[in-house]
Structure 1
């Protein structure tokens, strides 16, 4: 029997189906997983996609006698897309629970990736808060070049250093330099220990045989520049002539040998202000560990870490990074020469301004291999172009430092001092607290100086072999 004509149904059109689907899903979030890495050319799994971190608040408790860390990380971020899940970088440690916007979230671990699935998908543009509780003994991370970073045990505590990816050893986060955020770090340690981190010490509170230190940084920081040093340091405070607070922590055995170089810190900061423009942070200082703790110094933001007593040149180098590397941070690890070439050239400028070899003499010494002028002049600075390291194990090799500095001097030779120093100050000012890559610098240099610098880029920045002049 035929149906009544009013009860017959026509096949729905594609447009009708789309309208029905849209109506049914109105008011819901269509999230998708955030990427588990940012495809950095050298560390493709570093960082995570789909969100941008605004702030970290870390609440830590460390027991030096056992090496055990208890931590709570509160991460405030903005979703760059609808998110059904997102990743945080975390090496080792045990995750106890995770909440997103106050609701329990599912999570799982794969290698150094902590994948978090919120109870409800997050909307694009939504600012959300993730809380991760974790514990364990933080691990030391070995880099591709064989150096150690992450959490480094010391004779009476530990020091955390993170370049390029070691910060994931002590707190979960988006650990790529392109995602900068502000930090608060609260650390509880047994009474008699110091806990030193980035920024300013907001409070120090004694309670029940423990001391709680609360550190706060007010300017954005890349995760690899975060530090935490726990031990029995000698602490000194002061300020520069212009009023920038100074805080230094030195292991007792290195105090006497460190005094001369650290005594120049106020002069170094003020010299940097004259050469590069306003100091980009609200504090400065140093952490000096015992010799042998690390195989390198690191420009951790506001408070560089030194492996034993530094000399003046090393303090100058790490403080120059506060402008070049910390405030103006690399967009990817391929851009390391923008950190190290600039800081090395700052050493040449300091020497030039303080009665030592001029930058021109340093440049010529490297061309000629004259170690009487610079002990590093016989390095293989021409082994590869500074903007194109052959792999992650070479991002801190000699060409990145010395040929990087020579690129800057070649610009100075081409454009003259007035335009060159205006370029340095402008670069630091216009990219303050941001990120930049090599292409941005080359374009900026040509625009600010009004000169075509193609020859410098082709031969010195990207060219193979030892450049000829």
Structure 2
């Protein structure tokens, strides 16, 4: 989550955003390409007084061949004390943020890595991530973790690449001093009290992206309810807020419920029914951590029809569908995470504010798009290379324009069908081509020219309107070699006609208004 309202702020910090050089993605390391991660079992003690962590990560993997080296990422700030395989210590090398392990001569599919140290401090979370250690108004420690730009290596050894998700999920076991609670992914399956410490065991069986594995420490107030999904599943819905904000928790829970219902309407049932729907208050703006979204928007919501809209809560929740359920293996296609989720934000306006609010929102968001970079980045992009503001705003605007081209009935059914198709969800990660091919196949429409133009170039068609005779006009879209259906308002009413570079003639006693509602991305 690197949010829409803060894109200008992002630009200001752009030059320093990756000063620690903890980028990730790009080409997959050849050693790591030989291995698949099945499961992580992360066991950490959180040390708020020293701002450190100490523990181990047990990695279960599979490989088609015997491996001479197991390669994982872990930042050099941590010290690895030992590595075990088959109960025996094995040799390892830890430098340049890489952990190379020499396996013992066995058929082992598991390695346990013991490590610890002071945590890296986030310089500008969530844009430049790491750990954020603060204190609440009652002087309790409060810790949040953000690492979309850096990957999991800032908190655990991992095969740290967007294409790698543990196929059998994760177990996350955190020990902290009383009275602290640790909120994390999945469901809380066990809590143990040992003297002055508490241990919390969270578990999820779903695949999960490395940067979505997360934990937040604090003294929290909890509000909860049982949410009945459109699938019929009854799912725990929970919010954890600081004690000082306990009076605001019920309102936040209600906003979460409304947003979940809204997103289910357009994108299908909540994707992780065996876990929970939850947010936890964090000392930074927010991030889409699977089933435990980070929330730091200071409970700012606005009225929208009969409900209230919290843009940060809604956006992060939208990532449960796009980013968590539907995920990409190459950051080149990051716009699928951000653009479709941002469009889900606009749909809240449509559902609760009506068409007028929706089109006003679209106009406001699209007004300052510079069309400086293509929405889709080159193959094998790193996060730093692929992340830029237009994957949000222009990505959402492309989806909006697609709706204008297809019409509502076909558009909404196609988007929901894509999100519900098992070929494109959970472990089956997607590319931009997967999305565009699916939409064209599902709708029976040839949209390749549309997608090629708006996703892979910075070009925008130019609208040209020419007078012809006393009551006729020729309307053309220059700069394209295909036609798009365009709404045209004439003295006779609104008509929808295909328009391309050759132009189309319309009759009107008054100058026509082309695309009056602003469906298309045009230079006017």
With the shorter chain as reference, the TM-score category is 0.7 to 0.9
Q: Is the 8 A contact 1:38 1:44 kept in 2?
A: no
* Displacement after TM superposition at 1:46 (Å): 12
Rounded to whole Å, the distance in 2 between the matches of 1:361 and 1:381 is: 20
Change in Cα spacing, 1:284 to 1:405, as seen in structure 2 (3 Å) is: same
Please state if 1:102 is matched with 2:102.
Answer: no
* Displacement after TM superposition at 1:455 (Å): 2.4
- Residue from 112, 122, 127 that aligns with 1:147: 127
- Gapped runs of 5+ residues in structure 2? 1-21, 136-140, 302-309, 463-521
Q: Which moved more, 1:197-206 or 1:249-258?
A: 249-258
Q: Give the aligned partner of residue 444 of structure 1.
A: 438
After superposition, the C-alpha distances for 1:133-155 in whole angstroms (9 at most, x for unaligned) are 11111213669x99321222222
2:397 aligns to what SS in structure 1?
A: helix
Q: Give the aligned partner of residue 110 of structure 2.
A: 129
Change in Cα spacing, 1:345 to 1:175, as seen in structure 2 (3 Å) is: same
Q: Give the aligned partner of residue 313 of structure 2.
A: 315
* Displacement after TM superposition at 1:313 (Å): 2.1
- Gapped runs of 5+ residues in structure 1? 1-36, 366-373
Q: Is the 8 A contact 2:419 2:425 kept in 1?
A: yes
Q: Is the 8 A contact 2:25 2:383 kept in 1?
A: no
Rounded to whole Å, the distance in 2 between the matches of 1:49 and 1:340 is: 27
1:215 aligns to what SS in structure 2?
A: strand
**TM-score when scaled to structure 2?**
0.73
Q: Is the 8 A contact 1:194 1:231 kept in 2?
A: yes
Rounded to whole Å, the distance in 2 between the matches of 1:446 and 1:112 is: 43
Rounded to whole Å, the distance in 2 between the matches of 1:140 and 1:39 is: 18
Q: Is the 8 A contact 2:214 2:289 kept in 1?
A: yes
Please state if 1:287 is matched with 2:285.
Answer: no
Q: Is the 8 A contact 2:73 2:153 kept in 1?
A: yes
Q: Give the aligned partner of residue 11 of structure 2.
A: none
Q: Is the 8 A contact 2:208 2:324 kept in 1?
A: yes
Change in Cα spacing, 1:458 to 1:358, as seen in structure 2 (3 Å) is: farther
Q: Give the aligned partner of residue 371 of structure 1.
A: none
Q: Which moved more, 1:149-158 or 1:83-92?
A: 149-158
Q: Is the 8 A contact 2:62 2:109 kept in 1?
A: yes
Rounded to whole Å, the distance in 1 between the matches of 2:398 and 2:357 is: 12
2:371 aligns to what SS in structure 1?
A: coil
- Residue from 105, 115, 119 that aligns with 1:120: 105
5 Å-filtered alignment, 1:34-53, equals: 40-41=25-26, 48-53=32-37
Q: Which moved more, 1:429-438 or 1:385-394?
A: 385-394
2:320 aligns to what SS in structure 1?
A: coil
Rounded to whole Å, the distance in 1 between the matches of 2:372 and 2:453 is: 13
Q: Which moved more, 1:408-417 or 1:206-215?
A: 408-417
**Aligned length in residues:** 414
5 Å-filtered alignment, 1:208-247, equals: 208-242=195-229, 243-247=234-238
Change in Cα spacing, 1:392 to 1:222, as seen in structure 2 (3 Å) is: closer
* Displacement after TM superposition at 1:45 (Å): 6.6
Rounded to whole Å, the distance in 1 between the matches of 2:120 and 2:199 is: 23
Q: Is the 8 A contact 1:237 1:247 kept in 2?
A: yes
Q: Give the aligned partner of residue 419 of structure 1.
A: 410
- Residue from 253, 274, 278 that aligns with 1:262: 253
Change in Cα spacing, 1:318 to 1:408, as seen in structure 2 (3 Å) is: same
Q: Give the aligned partner of residue 461 of structure 1.
A: 455
Rounded to whole Å, the distance in 2 between the matches of 1:381 and 1:58 is: 43
Change in Cα spacing, 1:391 to 1:70, as seen in structure 2 (3 Å) is: closer
* Displacement after TM superposition at 1:254 (Å): 4.2
After superposition, the C-alpha distances for 1:283-325 in whole angstroms (9 at most, x for unaligned) are 1110112xxx33x421100111122424422211111110111
Rounded to whole Å, the distance in 1 between the matches of 2:210 and 2:452 is: 32
Please state if 1:300 is matched with 2:293.
Answer: no
Q: Is the 8 A contact 1:246 1:285 kept in 2?
A: yes
Rounded to whole Å, the distance in 1 between the matches of 2:148 and 2:114 is: 24
Please state if 1:385 is matched with 2:369.
Answer: no
Change in Cα spacing, 1:205 to 1:237, as seen in structure 2 (3 Å) is: farther
5 Å-filtered alignment, 1:293-442, equals: 293-294=283-284, 296-310=285-299, 311=301, 312-357=310-355, 361-362=359-360, 365=363, 374=364, 376-388=365-377, 392-393=383-384, 395-430=386-421, 431-434=424-427, 435-442=429-436
* Displacement after TM superposition at 1:383 (Å): 2.2
1:140 aligns to what SS in structure 2?
A: coil
Rounded to whole Å, the distance in 1 between the matches of 2:315 and 2:442 is: 25
* Displacement after TM superposition at 1:224 (Å): 0.8
Please state if 1:86 is matched with 2:70.
Answer: yes
Q: Give the aligned partner of residue 138 of structure 1.
A: 119
**TM-score when scaled to structure 1?**
0.81
Rounded to whole Å, the distance in 2 between the matches of 1:121 and 1:358 is: 66
